[in-house]
Structure 1
Amino acid sequence: MSKVADKSMFKFEFLDIDTLVEAEVNDNKAKPPSNLADLDDLVQAKMASLNGTVFSYQYGSGASILYPVGGSSADWAYSQGINYSYTIELPPMPSDGSFIYPSVNIQTTCDLKWGMFFGLE
């Protein structure tokens, strides 16, 4: 992650990485944020660039992809006035359903996500 990115290419203020499912989550509450349409517009094209590479991600709210919860890092970010908060949910191991992400996949995932958020090749 030594590349320098032009952050004006993507509205990005807070990023959280969790392990549960292959998904991009824009919040984790039952009630979507007021800027949901803006979040959706910003991510859809970026997601298309990732699907079909190494991973195939879903995109949506945590409540719609997973389940509604309160007290997530996205909730904290919104409470701090951060308008563009994203969570990357890394997939569990298909063989045993565990939530230990294989270390061999970490760099590839980070490189793909870094490129998605900052438009790097």
Structure 2
Amino acid sequence: MGASTIGGILQSFVSSTSDVQGAALVSPDGLPLASSLPGTMDEERTSAMSAAMLSLGERIGKELARGSVEKILVEGADGYGILIGCGDDAVLLVLASQSAKQGLLMLDIKRAVGEIKAVLN
């Protein structure tokens, strides 16, 4: 995997996408693969929590008969945390401000996921 290439994709995504404050690519078992997170965030802890949230979300989706999880959205007073799959081996975490327009944000995220998947495959 081109970790430096993915790191470049994440940095470009964060710097060029309005209202995106950070992004990280995480393995399903919680290891950080690449990130462009705000300096105050711990990459390893953020990665571990993202994997835990994805695992729990998948169990909830199964229990509620909702099928496979497409994305997990956490909305807080200060913004969004979005987890979305990048194939079987990685999950993208995106941090966005409260002012983000969800429709436009999801389009930008899908474009970034496409670029990341092209590197992973």
TM-score (norm 2): 0.37
Higher-helix-fraction structure: 2
Higher-strand-fraction structure: 2
TM-score (norm 1): 0.37
